[in-house]
Structure 1
């Protein structure tokens, strides 16, 4: 899964946003939601929703978190990972994508730090 600070590729973002089902899932992503909740609200079949959620996560437009439940089953939850996406054409006639992220809460910064420590270990 891409890290929050890794910039997504232009084609990856455009491919995700060009997909009507992906756009419907983004519109449904209000807070932290499960795939089932998003699929129902976006009127997308669950099997399709999983593929589209993967695409949006790869494009760094959604973030995932694991909800640990007492019954031993874990649930993946999705939330928006951007506030704005801007596509520009620079002086060199090169397209670039800029994904503006919401600020991280202190608990999220701590989680990111521990994730990075585990990666290095």
Structure 2
């Protein structure tokens, strides 16, 4: 019997995930992202400056915990929305006794994100 995780479960960079979630600002943003939001909406919700929110969102995106989609509003400037893309994160030992992070992804989150972006039209 193999102790490998099922193929549908992703192995991801443990340090990036733990580093992002160790950051209070990143955790606040993850908690706030119940639905797709713009950076302006996120900054207002978590009461942090836009520059801070951009840095935290970059960190969360690099860790693979947040996705960004860009839509165009009425032919004007693009407007990005951010959404979390996971339901659960597990830290576990693999068969070599090395720590691994497993991220259970949200199904069809991209479709949800695009439907939210399209509402801007």
1:27 aligns with 2:31: yes
Other-structure match for 2:91:
87
Other-structure match for 1:18:
22
Q: Which has the higher contact order (CA 8 A, sep 6+)?
A: 2
Equivalent-residue separation in structure 2 for 1:41 and 1:54 (angstroms): 18
Residue pair 1:27, 1:42 contacting (<8 A) in 2 also: no
Equivalent residue pairs, number: 104
TM-score of the two chains, using structure 2 as the length reference: 0.78
SS at match of 1:78: strand
TM-score of the two chains, using structure 1 as the length reference: 0.78
Equivalent-residue separation in structure 2 for 1:62 and 1:8 (angstroms): 13
Shift of 1:43: 1.7
Other-structure match for 2:119:
none
Equivalent-residue separation in structure 1 for 2:91 and 2:57 (angstroms): 22
Equivalent-residue separation in structure 1 for 2:107 and 2:28 (angstroms): 24
Q: Structure 1: which 5+ residue stretches go unaligned?
A: 112-121
1:64 aligns with 2:68: yes
Deviates more, 1:90-99 or 1:12-21: 90-99
Q: Structure 2: which 5+ residue stretches go unaligned?
A: 1-8, 115-121
Shift of 1:72: 1.7
Instruction: Give the superposed CA RMSD.
Output: 2.0
